[in-house]
Amino acid sequence: MINPHLPLVFHPNYSFSFDQNHRFVMSKFANLKTYLSQQGYIRDNIHQGPIGDYKPLELVHCEDYVYQLFHNQLSTKEMRRIGLPWSKQLMARTFTAPLGTYLTANLALQHGIACHLAGGTHHAHYDFGSGYCMVNDLAYTATRLINEQKVRNILIFDLDVHQGDGTAAMLQHNPYVFTCSIHCEKNFPFRKQRSDLDIGLPIGMNDKDYLNIVKQTLNELLEQVNPDLVLYDAGVDIWQHDGLGKLDISWQGIEQRDHSVIKICQKKRVPVATVIGGGYDSDHLRLAKRHAIVVEQAAKF
C-alpha cells in the first residue's frame, strides 16, 4: 500500500539543462520526482527548502573555497577534480541541496522518516571538491543539527559504492557524529580517508553476503552509538550493471537493503533521513527508477 504522507524534499533547481552525454545525469532529480508522482507517492507531501548560496556552507567548509566556487574563481585543475562544468544553474542547485538535506533531517525528527530526492555529496572535502561533489550536505546537516542542539549524536550510514571520504575527513574530530562507510574497496576514491568505521568490500560481492554485512553492521551500530538520528546515504551505484559500481548487487538486492535499513531503524525507534547518493546509467529513466527504490521502501513504513 502506498503511503502518500511520507515527507519528501525536492527543489525545482535540482535539475537543469545539461550535457545529456555527461557521466553525471543531471536530469535524474527531476525524473525521480516525475516517476514518484506517476506512481502515486506524491500528493501534498513535497517540501521545498530555500534557495542557498555559499554563506551557510561556511559552517563546515573553508570560507575561501565556497566563495571562490560560487563566484567561478577556482582554477581549471580544481574544477577538473570536481568533474562538472561551472554554471550559475549548477551553483544554484549545489548550494540549495544541502539545505534540502537539512530540511529532510528535521522532517525525519518530526515524523520518524523522510526522504530527500537529492543529496549524498560525500566526496566534497573542507577546502576542495571531488567526484562530482562540491559541498558536503551530510557534514553540513550533521554539524548544524548538533550545533543547534536538536540532537545529541548522529550516525551517518553511507552505503554508496564509493567511500564517503569527504564526510570522513570533515567529521573526524566531531565526537557527536559517527561515520560509517560500507563500500567497494577497489574503487574511487583511491586514497581513502578514515571513517569511524570503514568496511571495504571485494569486487563482485553478491546480494547475500552484502545484505548480511549491512544488517549486522547497522544493528551493532545502533546499539553502540545509540544515535538520535540516522543519515542514510542510499547510493544505488552498488547495482551490478552500474557504470561505476564493481559490485554484483541485483535490483532486488537494493530493495532488500533499503527495506532492511529502514526497518531496523524503525524497530529501534531511531528517525532516519535518506539521501539518494550516487548512481550512473546511460538509461536515464532507469536510473531514476533505481533512485526511487529507497522512497518506495520508506513508504511501506
Rounded mean pLDDT of 143-157? 98
Measured between alpha carbons, how far is 101 from 116 in angstroms, rounded to an integer? 6
Q: What is the pLDDT of residues 218-268, one digit of tens each?
A: 999 999 999 999 999 999 999 999 999 999 999 999 999 999 999 999 999
The x, y and z cell numbers of residue 85, run together, are 562544468
Rounded mean pLDDT of 137-152? 98
Phi-psi region of 40 (alpha: psi -120 to 50; beta: other; left: phi over 0): left
Q: What is the pLDDT of residues 11-57, one digit of tens each?
A: 999 999 999 999 999 999 999 999 999 999 999 999 999 999 999 99
Give ∠ CA 244-141-8 in degrees, rounded to 5.
Answer: 75
Measured between alpha carbons, how far is 79 from 71 in angstroms, rounded to an integer? 13
Q: Which residues is 180 bridged to in the sheet?
A: 157, 197
Helices (H) and strands (E) in the chain — how many of each?
10, 8
Read off the pLDDT band of 1 (50, 70, 90).
Answer: low
Q: pTM score, two decimals?
A: 0.97
